[in-house]
Structure 1
Amino acid sequence: MRLAVAGGTGMTGAHLARIARERAHEVIVLSRRTGVELLSGAGLEGALDGVDAVIDVTNVTTPRPDVSVLFFAGVTKSLLAAERAAGVPHHLVLTIVGAEAAPDGYYAGKLVQERLVAEGEVPWTVLRSTQFHEYAALMFHRTHAGAHVAPSGRVQPVAVREVAEHLVDLAEQGPAGRTTDLGGPREEDLADMVHRYAHAIGYRGPLPVVHTPGAIGRAFRSGALLPGAGARLGRQTFTEWLAALPDA
């Protein structure tokens, strides 16, 4: 197959491109590094000729809903327009388990992304996954007034490589609409994950537990972002991921 990976130089995209090539698929990486500006669509013309599926794993780091919506809506519209012009038969996108429970901030953009894909003319698949194991590192390094904190919450983290493997599986299978959610093998306490990550990299300073305000904080603490019954579960635990860290 000929697969185009939007965001193919990012964390998820790099895994995805590597796995697809290991399976003998031709991979086209769509990113600024390869001359494609996905938000505006510059560089997309002709880039999708002969492509069997576009896999969108683009991302933006922001807590602001306006920035998130602008990014995900813009990228999705650019991709769908280019796919229609090139006759691409499958658009596959990665989003987040339980996004509707916290329809603000970053999640607002993911919900708009899902809606645009579902309402579009290109046959589609939406895969929702839980947070990656790397979420603990993200939370640790996102300081507040210069201080490290550990947000509280219930999560069921999954290995990014396993998500990438499943995305390639779905690309090979063809459009499936909203497919089965993917989560990690077991529930974890987010604050505990952050503490364990900090210890693994040698941090010994203060790390107070904080409660994130608003809808996103409530969603994390209530378990609304956990995979439901019938979800597909990954294999690697957070403990195993932590043990494999180069700094551990």
Structure 2
Amino acid sequence: MKMAVAGGTGCVGKLVVEQARERGHEVVVISRSGGVDLMTGAGLDDALRGVDVVIDVANVSTLSRKASVAFFETETRNLLAAEQRAGVGHHVLLSIVGIDRVDSGYYLGKRRQEELALAGPIPVTLLRVTQFHEFAAQMLDKVPGPVKVAPLMKSRPVAASEVATELVRLAEGPAQGRATELAGPEVLTMASMMRRLAKGKLVLTVPVGKAMANGGVLPTGDFHRGKITFEQWAKSR
């Protein structure tokens, strides 16, 4: 198959590209560094020529509702319109477990993205996953200095490599709407994960809302369980 990966240079995107190529697929990487701009649509028509399926893992780092909605709405509209022009038959979207229960600014943007994809012109598969193991390391890097801040939340962290595997598997099959969610093998707090990686730095917890603190980002129904624990991932870094 010919697959295009939107956001193919990011944390998950690089793994999706790598695994898709290992499975024998032709892969097009959609990124600004490759001359394709999801926000303006520049280069999309050329990039999607002959593509069978698009895997969208494009992302923006923001806590702002306005910025999140603007990004995900714009890139999704541009991507779906270009896919329709190119005759793409399947759109696979990466999303997050619990975004309909947590009213953070970033999650509101992802909600809007889901709405557009599910109502769009291309058959879609939507995969919600829990936070990546890598998220704890990203949180540590956000604030310089010896004191770090962890959101008060419980998660079932999952390895980004397992997310990539599931996305490629879904892309190889027919569109199925909402796919079974993917979560990690254990429930952990973000603070405990950050402390495991902090190497002596002080990690403080801060509340970020009742929903997150009470398990709002944990799966509530059936889900596929990842195998790689946070400890296994941390040891292999």
Alignment partner of 1:206 is 2:198: no
Deviation at residue 143 of structure 1 after TM alignment:
2.2
Q: What CA deviation, in whole Å up to 9, does each residue of 1:78-100 have, x standing for no partner?
A: 10000110110101100000101
CA distance in 2 between counterparts of 1:112 and 1:229 reads: 22
Contact 2:155 2:189 in 1 (8 A): yes
How many residues matched?
237
**Structure-2 separation of matches of 1:221 and 1:175:** 34
SS of match in other structure, 2:46:
coil
| Structure 1 residue 207: Cα displacement | 2.2
1:102 equivalent in structure 2: 102
Question: Percent identity at matched positions?
Answer: 47
Q: What is the TM-score with the length of structure 2 in the denominator?
A: 0.96
Give a deviation string over 1:124-183, Cα, whole Å, max 9, x none.
Answer: 110000000011112222228994222221110000000000000000012110110000
Given the alignment of the two structures, is residue 168 of structure 1 paired with residue 160 of structure 2, yes or no?
no
The DSSP-based 3-state class of the residue aligned with 2:202 is: coil
Counterpart secondary structure, 2:113: helix
Q: Distance in 2 between matches of 1:143 and 1:218?
A: 23
What is the SS of the residue equivalent to 2:29? strand
**What's the secondary structure of 2:127's corresponding residue?**
strand
Equivalent in the alignment of 2:226: 234
Per the alignment, in what secondary structure is the counterpart of residue 208 of structure 1?
strand
Letter in 2 for 1:76: T
- The alignment yields a C-alpha RMSD, in angstroms, of 1.4
Structure 1: gaps of 5 or more residues: none
8 Å CA contact 2:7–2:31 kept in 1: the answer is yes
Q: Which letter maps to 1:83?
A: E
Q: More strand by proportion, 1 or 2?
A: 2
Instruction: Find the residue that maps to 1:220 and give its secondary structure.
Output: helix
- Are the counterparts in 2 of residues 150 and 195 from structure 1 also a CA contact under 8 Å? no
Displacement of 1:63 in angstroms is 0.4
CA distance in 2, matches of 1:206, 1:48: 47
Matching of residue 42 in structure 1 with residue 78 in structure 2: no
For residues 146 and 237 of structure 1, the distance between their equivalents in structure 2, rounded to whole angstroms, comes to 26
- State how far apart, in whole Å, the 2-side matches of 1:146 and 1:35 are: 39
**Corresponding residue of 1:193:** 193
Deviation at 1:206, TM superposition (A): 2.6
* More moved, 142-151 vs 116-125: 142-151
Aligned-partner residue type, residue 179 of structure 1 = A
Q: Tell me the distance in 1 between the aligned counterparts of 2:176 and 2:186.
A: 26
Contact 1:125 1:179 in 2 (8 A): yes
- Equivalent residue for 2:130? 130
One-letter code aligned to 1:181? E
Superposition deviation, residue 192 in structure 1: 0.9
Distance 1:159 1:194 in 2: 15
Alignment partners' CA distance in 1, 2:23 and 2:13: 15
Secondary structure (helix, strand or coil) at the match of 2:3 reads strand
Give me the whole-angstrom Cα distance separating, in 2, the residues matched to 1:129 and 1:146. 31
Is this contact kept in 1: 2:63–2:105, CA < 8 A?
A: yes
TM-score normalised by structure 1 residue count: 0.92
Distance 1:238 1:118, change over 3 A: same
**Alignment partner, residue 224 of structure 1:** 216
- Asked whether the equivalents of residues 90 and 123 of structure 1 are also in contact (C-alpha less than 8 Å), the reply is yes
How far 1:219 moved relative to its partner?
Answer: 2.0
Say whether residues 1:2 and 2:9 are aligned partners: no
